[in-house]
Each structure stands twice: as C-alpha cells, then as structure tokens.
Amino acid sequence: MKTVINIYRHHKLSVDNFISSLMRSIPQDYIANADSILRQHRYIQLIYGVNESYHQETPIICKKERDTSHIGSDKSHYFAKLQFNDEGVFISNPYIHYRTGKASLSVVRKVGEILYVFDINLVVLLEELQLIEFNSTHDKVKRSVYFLGSTLLAFVAVALIVYGGYVFFALMFTLHEADFLHDIFKSIIAITLGLAIYDLAKQIFEHEVVFQSFHHSEDKQYKVLGKFLISIIIALSIETLMVVFKIALDDYSKMMSAFWLLIGTTVMFIGLGYFYKTINESSCKDEE
C-alpha cells in the first residue's frame, strides 16, 4: 500500500491527467453505459450518481451486481470538501476501499445536476499505465501457497502444544515411574515451540493471506522473524538448563558439553540483540 501511494504521488500529475481525459472520452450517460465502461476499463470498480443535494439517485453498479439498497441515502459527508478542477472533475486522495479492501481513488464528475462517482482500483490503474508490474494470477497462487503453508504450520503448532500437555498430564499421573526433570522440560519445550510456530503461522496468514498489501515494510517482516527467533532461543535455553541439570546430577565428566551448549545459546542471544540494534538504526535512518 505504501509503495503504491508513493508511486501515485510521484506520478500524480500524469495519472490525474489520464483520469480527466478518461472522463471526457467515455460516454457521458455513465449509468446507461456502465456495463460497457466497467468491461472496457477494468480499473473502474463501481459507478453511481448523486443529485445536487448529495442524495444517491442511481444504483451502485459494480462489475457483477447492481446494489439498489442505498438509493435515496444521504452522501453529503463524502462531498463536504469537494473541489472540482477546470474540467469539472474531482480526484480524491488514495484510501482503502470498504468493499474491495484495495488501494483506491474516488473520482467525481459533474454532468448537469448529477454528480457521478467512480471508484478506481489504484493498483490496476498504475499497472495499466505501466507504472508498476502486478500479476493478479501470480498473486492468487502466492496467496494459496501461503494459506496452505500457514494452515499446516498451525496444525503442527497445535500438535506440539497438545503433545506438551499430554506429557505434562501423563507425568502427573506417573510421578513415581517418571524422570520428572526430563519430562517436565520436554513438556515446556514442546509447548514453547508450538506457540512459536503458531505465532509464525498467524503472522504469515494475517500479512500474506487476509491482508496482503502490494508492499510490506521490511520492519514488519523483521518483527515476525524476531518474535520467532525469541521463541526458539527460549526453547534452546530451557533445553540447555535441562542438559546442565541432568549432567550435574549424573555425570560431571560431560559438563564441557553443557558448557559449549550454554556458550552457543549465549551467542544466539548476542546475535539477536545485534539484529534488533541494526533494525532500530535502519528504521531511524528511514524516518529521517
């Protein structure tokens, strides 16, 4: 979304001139010719008309339907700061459309006493003008893959959490037969890894499937990776403690192995700290 808006702002004059030219070139009886207009110009999402008192006079005409439920409704709040250019055209700032969830522009053209409103898909318009490259088929395939991957990850996460719970409750009923420290740490590690993987699956699903903007900021991706790494490091730290305790109780000769494992976990902590430090410095530079 951020990249789309920046591209639009950079080419605003050219894009606005194209839209004004489009309003002049298409048939002036917009509602009667709405089907052909929507068919020929795939970036136009819907068309409707309001009168001078800002009450809707026509159905909202989309590519696949005509919505008559809002005829007569007051639209004055949308037109409070309407300022037409010399050609009688108003072009709004970019926004997220409430029907499609896409980056959009609203264009208003005054013809006689009627104000005709066109909602335009900004991504498709910029693609049409060859200002960006966007492949809708590729986008659908990518969403499907992310959906499948995140769903499977969620199932794996739930399985780990259930297994951790099973180990814990089994331990409670077999205390006299079980290795308490080993099993309780096994339960904690399984649940921690399950939560980490579930959080990763949730982030992928939210950012790539439910709301997948044209461009994701690197900061958002780093936060997802950072949260996952934190969960993994916590699980490794718990595993390290378990190994240290078991060696301390059983065989001191293996203490060096525990020491190197502890050093490795510490190095990961330091690496994660440096990772966050680098990201924060990069973010400050971007803001400046």
Q: Is the pLDDT of residue 118 over 90?
A: yes
Q: Is 68 helix (H, G, I), strand (E, B) or coil?
A: coil
Beta-sheet pairing, 89-91 with 95-96: unpaired
Q: Which of 191, 188, 189 is nearest to 159 (CA)?
A: 191
pLDDT value at residue 47: 92
Structure tokens at 155: 């199932």
Q: Where, residue-wise, is CATH 3.30.450.20 in the chain? A: 2-128
Per the prediction, the chain carries an average pLDDT of 80
Burial profile 134-158: b = 16 or more Cβ within 10 angstroms, e = fewer: eeeeeeeeeeeebeeebeebbeebe
| 1 in Cβ contact with 95 (< 8 Å) | no
| 233 in Cβ contact with 269 (< 8 Å) | yes
Structure tokens at 254: 């293996």
Instruction: Note the pLDDT tens digit of each residue in 87-107.
Output: 788 988 888 877 677 788 999
Instruction: Note the pLDDT tens digit of each residue in 8-39.
Output: 888 888 898 999 898 888 888 888 889 899 98
Rounded distance, CA 27 to CA 165, Å?
67
pLDDT value at residue 182: 72
Q: Is 45 helix (H, G, I), strand (E, B) or coil?
A: strand
Rounded distance, CA 242 to CA 127, Å?
56
Query: What pTM value is reported for the model?
Result: 0.49
pLDDT value at residue 142: 82
Distances (CA, A) of 234 to 245, 265, 266: 17, 9, 11
Structure tokens at 212: 């997948």
Distances (CA, A) of 2 to 82, 93, 95, 162, 191: 25, 13, 11, 40, 37
Distance of CA 282 to the CA centre of its chain: 22
Q: Is the pLDDT of residue 217 over 70?
A: no
| Cβ neighbours for 218, distance < 8 A, ≥ 6 positions apart | 282
What is the CATH code of the structural domain delimited by 2-128? 3.30.450.20
